[in-house]
Every structure is written in C-alpha cells, then in structure tokens.
Structure 1
C-alpha cells in the first residue's frame, strides 16, 4: 500500500461517519470483501511461519507457536456480563444479565522469537471463555463449550491484510537471525512508518496495558472490535519502563509479582461498526475513531491473586492448549482477511508444534483442567 493510500484510509476512518448508533449488520454489503486466491496465500503464510517455528526449534530444541512465542504469565478468573445491558448489546455470551463464565488467559510477547524484555514490541493476551452454549461455526468442534479471543496492546495491526501479511512474514523469516537486516529491509517499504509502529509501543509493565482484538468479529447482529481496559487505578499506575540494566525477564517478573499480590480486573468492551468505509474489516491497520464507534462496556473480567507462571501451568499451556478464533460460536464469526488467514495458519502452526514436540494438543473444556 502506498503512503497516499494509507493516508486516505486513515482520513476516511476519521471523517464523518453515520451516527454512532446506526449499527450495521455483520453481513451487510461491503463489510467483508474477500479476494481471489486467499486460501493459497494463507497457506504460503502458514508455510513461512512453519519455517520460523523450525528456526526456533533449531535454537531451543522446542517448538513454539508461530507468533506470541514468549509466555509472560497465565491466569484463571471470571468474566461477568454487565447487568442491564441495552438490547443491542445482548448478543451471544452477553444475553443473560449478570451471568458469569470461567476464563483463562495467557500474557505473551508477540514476536516470533524469544525476545529479551529490554526490546520493545507488541504484547498480547489470549483469552479462553468456558461454559459457552450456542450454535458453533461450520468446521468448529461441535462438542466444545469454549470461545477464544486474541488481543494485542495496540488497536491496529501493521500486517494490514492477507497480502501484506505474506510480505512481512517472508521478510521476518528471511532475516530471522538478523533483526538489523530485517529493520533495514522494512525501511525500504512504502509502508515503512506503519511497519515500524510496533517498535514504538511503550515497553512498560504489561499490567498497565489495554488490549484490543485489532481485527473485527461478528457480534450477534452487528460487527465490531473487542477490547480490555484496566479497571484498577493501581494497574494503570504501573508504567515503569524496562531498562537495559534490567533482567531480560523483567516483564515476566513484574507481571508475576503484581498478579500474585493484587490480581487484575478489566472492563470488556465492544466497538460497533456503522460503515465499511469508516469501520473496515479488511484493513486491520485502520484505527476506528472512537467518536464514530465508541467503546461500550459489556462485561468485567476478574483475575484473583495467583501464581501466574508455575512450571506445570506454563508447560501445559504451551504444549497442550490450542486456541483458535474459528473454533467459535456462530455469533462471533471472525471477519476480514487477517482473520480469514488465521483459519488456515493457526492449524498449520498447531500441527507443526505437535509434530516437532511429539506432543498432541487437547480440547480443554474446563478451567479446572489447567494446572
């Protein structure tokens, strides 16, 4: 994408949109516009990411996920549906006022290698909700009673769409062992500013971060972005930055210390789209303007104080757990090309991990199965 096109995309997103309560149906014309040969492109991305998994194995003699490689903490808690939600927000999991669900989440660093915490970059949170009932997507596990969501600490994803994702992943694989050469190659791209954005994220205590799905999902009748925002004042005050003199595991240590003493609490919110032009699903790099698509609270997430990184919990999640946004309820169908490619890429990543580690992942349908 040229700089002009990138600018115009952002300009459209910030310009006058339909009223922010004129919510658009998830299947309305223009909400999704798949390209030809997307499956072929997705498989190329999967093959490239499998190569990066092999690079990690060659260095560490263990296969990790294709992205979000470094576990920083794993927690168990509860999601509570907000009481007295307005009718338009009573969708899927959120139809019953005050209902609670068991949940588990993994905090991680997003890069494809075991990055030292002194290095800035995206941080993620993978969330599994248990005890979920309802019709599941075609191809999903019909016996599952779970719903998965993935969040990052930025509202946009620099990978943009399926074609850009392939280009960036091929660069990351080519220069897997040379971050300097990768940075040089990235600077030659027309979207260099966008691609450098993840490195500009604040390298601070993860407990202070808000988290965003970045990509869009169906939300019952509508479509939108989910997000998690810290509730406790003490969480948002922990903005200390990792220094070069700190441990390479500083983020893990800070997160574990905070969660052991205080736990954590987030508001879960939804940002509903009203226009494919202003609130696109196909360009994940466009930040939806909160004036035209304000976040609305739908629930609260509570993680009580706990040991967030016991050895048995970490090994279980890294080797046994399999999260996939497509193993989901119909009402939360993933939308946009970044999500469509995940349908293929996540399965390829899982199979690679299983084969190299000689360890099968399992269907985890109860939070009590997690150590």
Structure 2
C-alpha cells in the first residue's frame, strides 16, 4: 500500500514538472545530428592533447609507486563477470536501433567492476564506482576508420548520473590539479574547495560507499542511438541486489568491495535492466555538459533489454590479469549507431587509445580487440 502511494505521488509530481517544463513533448525525439546537439570549440583538440600528456604522467606516477602500469582511470579492479544481454522481445519500433534492432536477440557480454579514481585506494575511500561492458557478436556499420571485422560494442558506466569533469575545459583543470597533488589528496581537496564549482567537484565523494552490486550505473555522457541520441543506464532488478546495501566501515578489509562482489556471485545471479533516455532538446538534454542530469520528467527512461550475470567466480586471478593487461575497451571502435557524443566523449577518443599505448609500452604487453567471450578466462 505504501509503495503504491509513493508511486502515485511520484507520478503526479512528474506530471506537474512535465507540464511546467519548456521542453518539447517526451516523444518528440531529436535527430542526433541536428544543429546544436553538438558544438565543438575551436581549441578543443589542443586541450585534449594536453590532457593526454597529463594522464600519461599520472600513469607513469602510478608505475613509480606500484611497478605496474594501469589505465589512466578506473584503476582498481573489483570484479569481472560474464553474462548475456537480451533485447526486449516486445521492443517498440522507435527503440529498435543499433544493437537493439532485433527484438529478443541475445548477446554474450563481459563486464569489469572498478573504482573510478586514478589511484589504487583502500575501499574505505569514498568515490565513484564504475563498470566497463563489452558486448560480443555485434554487426552493423562501424564508426569511421574502424575495421569492419570488429564485432564488439563497448559501453562505460558510473554510479552517478552526471560527471563532475563536465567538459574538456574542466577536465584539463581538474586533471592538472590531480597530477600536481598526486601524492597529497588533502591538498587536492583544499584546492578543489577554492573552485566556483566546488559542490560539483565534491559530489562524487558523497556517493554512498556501499556494496557495488546494489548500484545503478549511468553512461553520464550522451551517445547516438540510431536516429536519435540519449543517456543510458543499468538498473538492478533483483531484490538480492537492491537489498545488498552494506556500508563500508573503517575496520573492513581494504578489498571489501571485491570481497562482497565475490561473496554475492558465489551463489547468486545479478540482473540489470538496460534503459535509455532519449533527448528532445539540447537546452534540456545537452551533450556538451556532462554534469547535467537529464530530468526524467522530460526524458523518461525506456527499457531496452536485460543483462544477466549468472553465479560465478568474480575475482579469478587469470581473468583479472587478462582483463587488466590484454583487454581493450573503446566506445569509438563500435557501431556508428552508438557514436559517443559531446566533449567528454571526444576527449575519450584521444585519451583511451593513448592510455592503452602507454600501459602496453610500460608493461611490455599487448591489449587486444577481443572478439569472443571464450578468449576471456
């Protein structure tokens, strides 16, 4: 009864907000290439080059600490799992885009849970958590310059619906501060508090430091979705996930988040509903400012499919080493129908390959476009 009342109140409030908004109707989906959906600043590429240099220096700084090169961000692996993505069998026509073109289709998928920060931290350190997802057996026209023999699609998620790095300009400022105070987090915190966007910069560290299996995950940035564009999300389905909200305590092991994932997957499956918000207006649903949360009143989530990860060993060492040293994920090597959009994603187009090259060079390893889930231990 209480849950029904809550849903009724939420629905009524959503309708009020929708009525007051100047956004176009919910179903007036805007084409991804309409003028104003993306706007590239003239000095963007020069700043991306500077960010690449900053990120490489941080990777080398991590190597000096640990004698191993990691990714530029999402350094700490918490778990790696295999599963399947099933497209909704009754998917409406307007959502049949990209990998979701065929209702009911099933894909193999693999995912890595990780802490987002660029440091190897104890899990007591609050901060954003992420999930990298690779979908296998994907067909269709690729983005420009990508080998048509590649049959995978990569997506990236974090447990906050917005990204505090905002755009290329802000990212350069924040990454420069992180490099300068790499060994002094307290000094970094003090300097972030001097910024006009201090609330935004500290927001990720206010996220609940809880069992990752309970987290909803968000793309944060925009992607083309066939004819349209949108933000995507993964939402826990099972009660066993939703109620696994253990909070990290000061006396827990430094690896408690991976321990909790291991314990969960030791006997239970996990399910996520894959959803999308479609944009109708750049003023309300921007691609260039990743810190803006798209209001569900003007862009409600719509279900695309379900990801299922069966019970398994989520922290097998062979799988961990394979992923950390050989797996390459890059949204810019996917389908044209899922083109990454906005300055945060254009930044990733430069940073991700550079990070991979740096990691491979230092570790004397070779990251690969893994094309079959069977290649992963």
Structures share a fold, TM > 0.5? yes
Equivalent in the alignment of 1:3: none
Of 304, 310, 314, the match for 1:308: 314
TM-aligned CA deviation for residue 142 of structure 1: 2.3
**Deviations 1:22-80 (Å, cap 9, x if unpaired)?**
10000011100011121111111111011110111001000000000000000000000
**Deviations 1:239-284 (Å, cap 9, x if unpaired)?**
1110001001110100111012102100000100000000000000
TM-score scaled by structure 1? 0.96
Of 129, 136, 139, the match for 2:135: 129
Equivalent in the alignment of 1:368: 374
Cα separation, 2, equivalents of 1:263 and 1:114 = 28
Equivalent in the alignment of 1:350: 356
Equivalent in the alignment of 2:338: 332
- Give 3-state SS (helix, strand or coil) of 1:261's partner: coil
Whether contact under 8 Å (1:208, 1:236) holds in the other structure is yes
**Deviations 1:291-341 (Å, cap 9, x if unpaired)?**
100000000000000001111000000000000010010000000000001
Equivalent in the alignment of 1:206: 212
Cα separation, 2, equivalents of 1:328 and 1:181 = 39
Equivalent in the alignment of 1:291: 297
Whether contact under 8 Å (1:161, 1:283) holds in the other structure is yes
* Paired residues for 1:167-182 under 5 Å: 167-182=173-188
Asked if 1:70 corresponds to 2:76, the answer is yes
Runs of 5+ unmatched residues, structure 2: 1-16
Whether contact under 8 Å (2:236, 2:273) holds in the other structure is yes
Equivalent in the alignment of 2:25: 19
- Give 3-state SS (helix, strand or coil) of 2:307's partner: strand
Equivalent in the alignment of 1:6: none
Of 263, 271, 274, the match for 2:277: 271
Of 248, 252, 258, the match for 1:246: 252
TM-aligned CA deviation for residue 15 of structure 1: 4.0
- Give 3-state SS (helix, strand or coil) of 1:326's partner: helix
Cα separation, 2, equivalents of 1:133 and 1:233 = 34
Equivalent in the alignment of 2:167: 161
Whether contact under 8 Å (1:15, 1:278) holds in the other structure is no
Of 80, 83, 104, the match for 1:98: 104
Task: Please provide the CA RMSD for this pair.
Answer: 1.2
Cα separation, 1, equivalents of 2:95 and 2:291 = 25
Aligned length: 360
Equivalent in the alignment of 1:192: 198
- Give 3-state SS (helix, strand or coil) of 2:333's partner: coil
Equivalent in the alignment of 1:227: 233
Structure 1 runs (4+) greater than 3 angstroms displaced: none
Asked if 1:52 corresponds to 2:75, the answer is no
Cα separation, 1, equivalents of 2:356 and 2:83 = 25
Asked if 1:37 corresponds to 2:38, the answer is no
- Give 3-state SS (helix, strand or coil) of 1:163's partner: helix
